[in-house]
Chains A and B, each alone.
Chain A
Amino acid sequence: MSDVALRISNVGMRFGGLWALNEVSFDVERGAVLGLIGPNGSGKTTLMNVISGVYKPTAGEVTYGGKRIADVPTHAVCHLGIARTFQIVKPFASLSVRENVAVGAMYGRYGAKRSTRESFERAQELLDVVGLARVAERPASDLTIPDRKRLEVAKALALDPDVLLLDEVMAGLNATEVDEALDLLRSVNARGVTLIVVEHLMKAIVSISTTIVVLAEGRKIAQGAPADVLGSPQVIEAYLGSRWVKRQEQLAVIEAERIEAKRLQPPEAGA
């Protein structure tokens, strides 16, 4: 099962004087769920943009099945089997929800083989999957934020991807909705779709990911199984700051000294 789907090697992305990504490398195995986390501004969305071909990286490359993504025009990336959602949702406002999804089915990976009618049927199936069938006829601009996130997922699924990049699809959802979203993602993954999930909700990301990659200030600072990564001092430092880590260390020393002092103290006389 160690079949590499996506290889990110030494990717750097510079905006003016800022390296938003710097020498980031990791592999994504086929069928895996890779969680991508990091504090705000750590480069998660930039990396998603590089992987989906929206940005051409300044350094390094992303390859999918041996093909450099930077060589493929943006509109052809989904034909390779890579689909994404946007953190800032981008529905086609004047089209209905079903039409929005149908556009993906028409022009995505297998779009050329589908007629307009088949695309609409496929769109309806996907709306059932993500739970938007009840608002299929409504204009996309009418949707609430959680529903717009669902629409983003449905549009991405309509492209029939092998690799699905999800950029904060659970932000703004309540606990029940997060559970529903996780079930949805699990079922998508069970059908063999590799997932790359960017999310701030730790609970969600820990429960679904097989591997977690942590970015901080554009660099990869940790990679591994969820439990190992979250316990790593570097990750804690990235999220909570070096002063917090120092304070924790000082507290630990004080606590250790207190315990040590208590142990050395002779038992009270007069017992």
Chain B
Amino acid sequence: MNQATLKRIGLGGITGNPIAFAVVLGLMALLLAIPLTHNGYIEVVFRNILMYAAMAYGWNLIGGYTGYVSFGNVAFFGIGAYCSAVLATHGVDNVLLYVLLAMAVCAAFAAVVGFPVLRLKGHYFGIATLGVALAVADIIANLDVLGGTGGLALHQVDEAHFSLYYYAMWLVTLGSMLGTFFIARSKLGYAFVAIRENEDAAAVLGISATRYKIVAWAISAMMAGAAGAVFAPANGFIDPSITFAIDSNVFPIVMTILGGIGTVAGPFIGALLLAGANELLQRFFVKAHTLFFGAMIVLIVLLLPRGLVWLFGLRGGVRAWLKSLAVYKA
């Protein structure tokens, strides 16, 4: 068993392991029942899991499939949140409109920013995207129209709206997941992966790397923006420190990597596990929860370097798994 075979194990082609995807779809169906508990706390926890999952799907498309590690996707989440906040403060009360506007604005912003930024490669791209995120946060914090650092208060969230926003977030996540699945299987997905594997070789095969990188980033931005657009009204209040939080930037990346980078099931599994574990640890270890949280991430990375999705494709039990670890450490 060589490294190449291992890379393939549990990944099952461009969309990832089909069993893992089926399990994820099943879990999504179960999550539809969460509002029936009429427990506000649980609903918020799972709405946040869905939100992170949608952002993770966004990051997975540019960072996982196209191989461009972006540290700036939180900018799109924030822009999406402000899009719906602006609509809400102008009397529009329609989540669908929020999401559509956020997706359009984010895609346009990603395309404009991506044109110079996506010419950079490797670390330089990562740093530039981080710069974009910081700049957008600072610009919004200094715009009085958008409330500045004081933020914007949206309408009061009542009982009926509470579940509406939960279902809206569920739909955004399902859309991001199915979107990833169908994009990955299409010509577009193969262009993204070709760019990730070897940009020069991709160009010789007729793939305009700049164009497809921008497309990948724009779709990625739409997913993050849609999540932000539902988050703002569900939260009832936004300000730059909430919408451009470092957690919202780092969590989706860690979730994707832990779940399985470049797969359709990975981001959801990572989000469910990480956000769920974070919530539980916070309840049981009020002070030391970050310690356990960090240890958990380190363990997963060490024991399952290709992410949790790998478990679905692992054949040959513990021995095959140990053997595979040896290859990854070599």
Contact = CB atoms under 8 A, between A and B. Distances in A.
A92 interface: yes
B208 interface: yes
A92 B7 CA distance: 12
A79 B203 CA distance: 11
Given A73-B208, A96-B13, A119-B187, A86 B7 contact: no
A84 B13 CA distance: 27
B4 A84 contact: no
B203 A75 contact: yes
Interface stretch (A9-17, A97-105, A247-255): A97-105
A90 B198 contact: yes
Given A75-B206, A95-B193, A96-B13, A142 B201 contact: no
11 contacts: A75-B203, A94-B7, A94-B193, A95-B197, A103-B202, A106-B190, A107-B191, A107-B205, A107-B207, A155-B205, A159-B205
A188 interface: no
B4 A142 contact: yes
A86 B8 CA distance: 25
B315 to A, nearest CB: 16
A94 B14 CA distance: 9
A135 to B, nearest CB: 12
A109 interface: yes
A124 interface: no
A216 interface: no
A158 B190 CA distance: 15
A83 B204 CA distance: 8
Interface SS of chain B: helix
A70 interface: no
Nearest to A94: B7
Contact of B200 (A54, A77, A95, A104): A54
A158 B205 CA distance: 9
A22 interface: no
Contacts of A94: 7-8, 11, 193, 197, 262
A155 B302 CA distance: 37
Interface residues of A, number: 36
B187 to A, nearest CB: 5
A211 interface: no
A78 B206 CA distance: 6
A116 B187 CA distance: 6
Interface of B: 2-5, 7-8, 11, 13-14, 185-187, 190-191, 193-194, 197-198, 200-209, 262
Contacts of B262: 94
A106 B202 CA distance: 11
B186 A78 contact: no
B197 A78 contact: no
Contacts of A57: none
B201 A74 contact: no
Nearest to A82: B204
A42 interface: no
B203 A93 contact: no
B203 A74 contact: yes
A107 B13 CA distance: 19
Contacts of A155: 205
B4 A93 contact: yes
B81 to A, nearest CB: 35
A218 interface: no
Nearest to B187: A106
B117 to A, nearest CB: 19
A116 B2 CA distance: 30
Interface string A102-121: 11101111010000100100
B4 A74 contact: no
A109 B206 contact: yes
A90 to B, nearest CB: 4
Nearest to A108: B206
B204 A54 contact: yes
Contacts of B13: 96, 99
Q: Across the A-B interface, give the 10 residue pairs with the lowest CB-CB distance, nearest first.
A: A141-B4, A107-B206, A90-B201, A92-B197, A74-B203, A75-B203, A75-B208, A78-B206, A142-B4, A104-B205
A223 interface: no
A139 interface: yes
A141 B197 CA distance: 11
A84 to B, nearest CB: 6
A142 B2 contact: yes
Given A94-B7, A139-B5, A139-B8, A104 B206 contact: yes
A209 interface: no
A79 B3 CA distance: 35
Given A116-B187, A116-B190, A141-B3, 5 more contacts: A94-B7, A95-B193, A99-B190, A103-B194, A106-B191
